[in-house]
Amino acid sequence: IGFDVSEDLSLPPRQQSFLVDPAGQDLVREFLTQYFAIFDSESRQALLEAYHENASLSMASNYLSNDSRNSPNNRLTSYISNSRNIMRVTDREQRRRYLRTGRLQVVSFLSDLPKTTHDLMGFAVDLIVFTPAMIVLTMNGIYKETNTAGNPTRSFHRTFVIVPNTSGGFCVINDMLYVTNTTKEQEEKAFASGSVEPTPAAPAPGPAPGAVPGVAP
């Protein structure tokens, strides 16, 4: 004979996106589509216009714990060497140095990251602040490294603080990026919408080499 203590301990179902204000939906979609079209192109220089002149960016990276996969594909060396994980980077001077400030420093840092194709359709996007002065949105998703042997997929979490710019558009003033390995489950569902398949393995009709990769609307 047992006790009647059963409770429903399941987690609430997850949603792909949250909008604090539905009025922000088009702006967010447009901004991210344009931003990642440039980010995933041959050159990230054009992102200069997407950043505020006093923008800050930091990136932190870590391995998944409990991950026994040890192939070269899983190595995050190019990220970890620049990671501002303040649990490890404890010196003030170093913490300041790992924070990139100013549009030029930010874009030069981004330009040195591996070339990518993001799975835009698979993004989880949360718009958490939407006011005339400031927009804050977070993204969770995966991308593929396109110039790295084996085209590894990575998982990321990223927050943009966006402000209006002088020309009637918008720019990022804070950018915080976290990069880690994809889980098995994420890999199985990667690019599942089929709309942003970057691997050149199958000769599917796509953009010409050198052109901006097609980013789903």
The whole-angstrom separation of Cα 17 and Cα 125 is 5
- Binding other proteins (rule: CB under 8 A), the pick from 34, 48, 49, 62 is 62
User: Considering only residues 25-44, where is the footprint of other proteins by CB under 8 A?
Assistant: none
The whole-angstrom separation of Cα 61 and Cα 180 is 6
Q: Is 48 in the site for other proteins (CB under 8 A)?
A: no
- Binding other proteins (rule: CB under 8 A), the pick from 43, 111, 183, 199 is 183
Largest CA distance in the chain: 72
Q: Is 159 in the site for other proteins (CB under 8 A)?
A: yes
Pull the structure tokens for residue 175: 């950018």
DSSP per-residue letters across 102-159: SHHHHHHHHHHSPPEEE-GGG-EEEEEEE-SS-EEEEEEEEEEESSSTT--EEEEEEE
Based on CB atoms, which residue is closest to other proteins, 42 or 189?
Answer: 189
Q: Is 86 in the site for other proteins (CB under 8 A)?
A: yes
Of 18, 37, 28, 56, residue with least CA distance to 176: 56
Q: Is 58 in the site for other proteins (CB under 8 A)?
A: yes
Based on CB atoms, which residue is closest to other proteins, 185 or 210?
Answer: 185
The rounded Cα 179 to chain-centroid distance in angstroms is 8
- Residues contributing to the site for other proteins (CB under 8 A): 9-18, 20, 54, 56, 58-62, 64-66, 83-87, 92, 95-96, 99, 101, 121-124, 126, 128-129, 133-134, 136, 138, 140-141, 155, 157, 159, 161, 163, 173-174, 176, 178, 180, 183, 185-186, 188-190, 192-193
